[in-house]
Amino acid sequence: MSLTEMRNEVAATLDVLSAAKGALHVEASSATWRLHALTGTDPYNIRYTPNRLRVHQRIVDRFLSSPDDIAEGSVVVATAGPPGAGKTARLADLGYGLGWRRIDSDTFKRLLIEHDLRTGDLVMPDEVKEFVLADGKGIMPLELASLYHYESTVIADMAKVACLTARENVIIEGTLSWDELPTQIVDDIVTHGYEKLDVVLVEAPRDVVLERALQRWWAGRRAGGIGGRFTPSATIRNLYTTSTSTVCGRNARDLVKKASAAQIAVELKK
């Protein structure tokens, strides 16, 4: 078996586990939003246990105490585009580097997983505890990221509100795939008195993005440690309306329209 064949076989297994009713699906019984819920059955409206809320606050505090020289300002940047499209590289090309606070739910997935590893609370569903994949390794911690998905968005929102309240220059990193997000971003900008919004849209053909996502994950898995974050292929495919057009692009354009209607100075950058 070639290395590429091995990679693809491991990925195919993780795809199956991440599908509906799979052990690693975002709504699986082992998903952290279920395990740490005090009340509620809607992942977007969960009331977490007091202990878990304290974990959330500690993670936000750690994030905000990072030594980066974050500038105060009046600009919000929102990214849009599928995973692996090249958003991070494009942000660097456009000069969004030092002085910006980057809010990305993937950052908080990693911080949550690292926390649970340290405390012995890492979620590892019984169905996959003894799994050995085609490369001879088991499921690695970052490959559990989907189980932490909904919880990580809660912490990302906490951090975002703190940064906007402090009037920092903020980059809201993500795919912009949720149709309600443009309205939410505009509301946040208006509420906190920001004057300008830059929307950075990065798209690439579906097959290119699928391969890049695999390469990024596989490099992390081969490096050991906690591995690489796996993005199920279905998650990427569901973002595409054609082989080259995405719901991310549609929502980016919708965000520009909504921001303009709210009298916010807005620019779409590609």
How confident is the model at residue 70, as a pLDDT? Answer: 85
Burial 116-138 (b: 16+ CB within 10 A, else e): beeeeebbbbeebeeeebeeeee
pTM score of the predicted model: 0.94
Report the distance separating Cα 166 and Cα 180, nearest Å.
Answer: 24
pLDDT in tens, the chain (270 residues): 899 999 999 999 999 999 999 999 999 999 999 999 999 999 989 999 999 999 999 999 999 997 668 888 889 999 999 999 999 999 999 999 888 999 999 999 999 999 999 999 999 999 999 999 999 999 999 999 999 999 999 999 999 999 999 999 999 999 999 999 999 999 999 999 999 999 999 999 999 999 999 999 999 999 989 999 999 999 999 999 999 999 999 999 999 999 999 999 999 999
Cα 179 to Cα 74: distance, rounded to the nearest angstrom: 25
pLDDT value for 67: 66
Pairing of β 170-173 and β 75-80: parallel
Give the integer Cα–Cα distance in Å for 178 and 212: 22
- Give the residues across from 48 on adjacent strands: 37
Predicted pLDDT of residue 71: 80
Distance CA 221, CA 223 (A): 5
